[in-house]
Chains A and B, each alone.
Chain A
Amino acid sequence: METNTAILLSIIIPLLAAICNIYIKKHPNLRDSITLISSILTFLNVCIILYNVGNNTTDTMILFSVASGLTISFHVEPLGLLFALLASGLWIVTHIYGVGYMRKNKEENHGRFFACFSLAIASVMGIAFSSNLFTLFFFYEALTLTTYPLVAHKGSSEALKGARTYFGILIGTSIGLQLIAIIWTLVIAGSLDFTRGGILLGKIEGPLVALLLFLYVFGIGKAAIMPFHRWLPAAMVAPTPVSALLHAVAVVKAGVFTILKVGIYIFGIDFLKESGASYWLMWLAAFTIIAASLIALTKDNLKARLAYSTISQLSYITLGMALATSMGVLGAGLHIVMHAMGKITLFMCAGSIYVATHKTKISEMNGLGRLMPITFVAFLIGSLSIIGLPPLGGSWSKWLLILGAADRNQFLIILVLILSSLLNVAYLLPIFVKGFFLGKKDNTPHKSLESSTLIWLPPAFTAFCCLVLFFVADDILLFLTPIVSLE
């Protein structure tokens, strides 16, 4: 299949799935199978693109032109392809989990839920393959709009309040700051195309570079840099599959992906390095890493703790870009994958615990591990990967980030990264420990609380993937190398 057709199909298939979800009301099994098939097809499509293109960059395909200079157009480049692979692959896993979760938990409005889910995936595919900032902005906003009903899904006043925060911050930052940054870029550079080496070199200088970067970084609210991080914990009112795929993988990664794209293809790493414009961002990211970890420590609600952990981990990626070295950027790219795999495992485990016991508080989970061994072992593996211990995927990205910081002689940043790992240990491992070693022990055999296969298998699978990622990290790095080399 032609690559361009495959790009379009990877957006169209989820769209079709969304339409099926709205119209097939009476046959839930049929509806969910169609979505499953769509997710597999989407993934295969992205695989075909991978097979066709490898880690090259394809020519831009202009879908249509909105006005002169503003086009909706797509291309394939390594970072975007990696993101698309990740999102579409994990969609399959999350869909299976989501069907189990929504049914077991007796949630309502399945059709609307899965329709919005598919629409969100279509938007993510658009973001991944966009070849200019306008296209990216278009799909970025579409992603915000399509995920809003998912956060407000329950319709309770708490859900509405959370959804309002979610929508307010994401739309507010994107229209208030990002849009201005994009138009400013267009005015000074005359183009919005993602170009290797950036398009701003020589067009802007001095403190204005830092100002433009400021507008971008805060305008991309999805990257959850403090102080615009409040939407992420607020979004935790959504059903867990949403938290798992969207708020650990798709939406937040769309945010940091956008930051990386802007850093690499709009500013250009060398330009950032020479102008020193990203220096402040490095410290802000470091601050977010530590502050969010500290807040996570205080949270007793498991999903809230994971949300703050996500905020902290996202800033690793922003930090990698702000370091403006090849190592840093590669580490950031790699961390997108590693963190996604680890965090989705943790969220799915949290959802499993909720479905089985309706417990959300960590302090109530004493002894649960003995009843749900698979879930808790998967949770342990995910935690270790987030902490960054070998032999799990997360160790590589942290290693590269530390190397990047060493390149820039930022030893304080190295300290921050190490301290953050220790904090990760402090807020993630107690959950496992409580589950297995605390609580009253009785020797009477008890019934396992693991729910249906649909619910425990997906986190077990992603936990296994965390392990596999440790061994293929090198290949992923090799795959990503073109984004930092200038031919």
Chain B
Amino acid sequence: MSPPGVRVPAVAADGLRRTFRRDTGEIVVALDGVTLRAEAGSLTALVGPDGAGKTTFLRLVAGLMAPDAGTMTVLGIDVAREPQRIQDRIGYMPQRFGLYEDLTVQENLDLYADLHGVSAADKRRQYPRLMEMTALGPFTGRLSGNLSGGMKQKLGLACALVREPELLLLDEPTAGVDPLSRQELWQIILHLVAEQRTTVMVSTAYLDEAERCGRAVVLHQGKILTQGAPDEIARLADGKVFLADPPAGQTARGLQAHLLGAQAIVDAVPEGGRVRFIRDGAADARVDALAQVAVAPAQPRFEDGFMTLLRRAGDSRPASVVTLDKPPERQGDGVVVEVRDLVRMFGNFAAVDHVSFEVRRGELFGLLGPNGAGKTTTFRMLCGLLPVTGGTLRVAGVDLRRARASARQRIGYLAQRFSLYGDLSVVENLEFFASAYGLRGGRKRARIDWALRQFELGDLARLPSRHLPGGYKQRLAMAAALLHEPALLFLDEPTSGADPLARREFWQRINALTEQGVTAIVTTHFMEEAEYCDRVAILDAGRILAQGTPAEVRAHARRQEGREATMEDAFIAIVEEARAHGHPEAGAA
């Protein structure tokens, strides 16, 4: 115990190390020599790729695990020795929110209030405040399992806040949540820090969220790469960040793909019709890819600093570009997918409400929207997995639900979650899907070799696929979907839950495929990923609110102070406008 009057840091970690044993027997180091402190009243972000150790760190703070070595002191208490004393005083929201889905909103709140010993008087004072903050007031009687993703997350937060904790830990609170809910959540967090001096520690995969925090800690493979104020970290990329205008005849994503492949370029992403890129150390080095391109220096952001750091840490550049053996013929630009007034009801609830769009050959079409907007339902109908309630759809000229099984030969489908056989090895999975698509003999062997080579899976061919690291699972799933060289790809939230590096790698592959003539339909809730698409449709509550090229959609939003409007600004503007015109949120219906 520290003497009174001396300010103790809220969290002080010293030389933390924590390992796990996989069922295969190998030892994985989750945290390795982590030392950091968070002052009382501060807001700290933990960022880093998948498997960097963010969740493990938060669990160590919460006393849910003991470190193998090093010490963790929280609120002046040694966590390993007295975890209960910490747990009496902090609020914690795990990745899966920890809500009981068969309890109502009110019952969940009551449960946590009673567990935290909140008195009746305090409840009377706290509940209205929490309800106002989270806008859950009208839904107190609803089972929390029936809430939308954003509402679940706000309820989870409310449960962690019932007792006004001294320290609040949030583990990826915004994963898979729509931009509006994300914005609302951050307003709550910032308010807590400003008004109540709550110490908050939050892990996130959204790099723009780290910018809102007082401090950011960048974790990578269990080690701290750097920590400091987000703008300090952004400054690591000072003078190296530029915006390029694609020359006439080239799309932004075309130029971006080109740049990513070039030497001396750390990172490139499409942004508002231009390409944002980071040059390597030597700022004056010639880059051939930029010969014809108008380039303007740009203000570095946290993301730029983060990418620079990761590159420096030796994470290899995503170099994988898929080359098809036999690219589909690019004859004309006929309509490949046609959807007219598509409706899908679940009981009284319209999951998809008169959706219409079409996709042409060779196009990369994006369906954007928050969780529960109806993207996956639309997809399942397109793939013939779900009968339609109304409207018509044509995929390559047929309705896959009624067409002969062989019609499915032409499509590839990548489900939202990793959905290959976890017990089977990489190569066994590939063999099974090759046979399922009717490949035999030499052709089958050739295609499997192709897949192992293209997706750099050769070294892992014998590993059971459930033991693959996250990014490799995604590669295997894509390889399996491409074995039979489909002309049309359905990709359902392929980047959900992936870290920034894996997401870049994925888009690079898709880009390469569409360049070779494959038609692809992609759903995503990362708004900025719309920039990769030829055309996008924005879905909310089962309805299409806007569709067109990224530039057309972006035009819905006004220019924000000091910067171009982003796709996220556009989304928020469009949804708010639609709701103002009387289309209530799906969850509020």
A binds B: no
A interface, CB within 8 angstroms of B = none
